[in-house]
Amino acid sequence: MQCPFCGEGALVHQTKDMPYTYEGKSTVIPAVTGDFCGACGECVFTDKESKRIGDAMLAFNRLVNSGA
Ligand SMILES: [Zn+2]
């Protein structure tokens, strides 16, 4: 499948750890499964995986905001 973002790369289905940064603090969201573009780095997730990633990001944001 061709990448819908850049139209150049091919999307590759894989699972990998995704770095995430909020307010200068970094974490890694483990074992994120999606279709990743090798050309531009964009990725496409299923609805279920998007929700899990969103929840993980929000949880990390709360942790950072709490000062931990
Ligand atoms: Zn792309």
Could you please state the CATH topology (level 3) that the domain comprising 11-65 is classified under.
Answer: Ubiquitin-like (UB roll) (3.10.20)
User: What residues are neighbours of ligand 1 (ion), with CB under 5 Å?
Assistant: 3, 5-6, 9, 37, 39-40, 42
Give the pLDDT score at 1: 86
Give the pLDDT score at 13: 96
Q: Which residues lie across from 36 on neighbouring strands?
A: 12, 43
Task: Count CB atoms within 10 A of the CB of residue 33.
Answer: 16
**φ, ψ for residue 16, nearest 5 deg:** -150, 165
Give the pLDDT score at 68: 65
Which amino acid makes up residue 48?
K
Q: 50 alpha carbon to ligand 1 midpoint, in Å?
A: 18
Q: 32 alpha carbon to ligand 1 midpoint, in Å?
A: 18
pLDDT digits (tens, 9 = 90+) for 18-61: 999 999 999 999 999 999 999 999 999 999 999 999 999 999 99
Q: 11 alpha carbon to ligand 1 midpoint, in Å?
A: 7
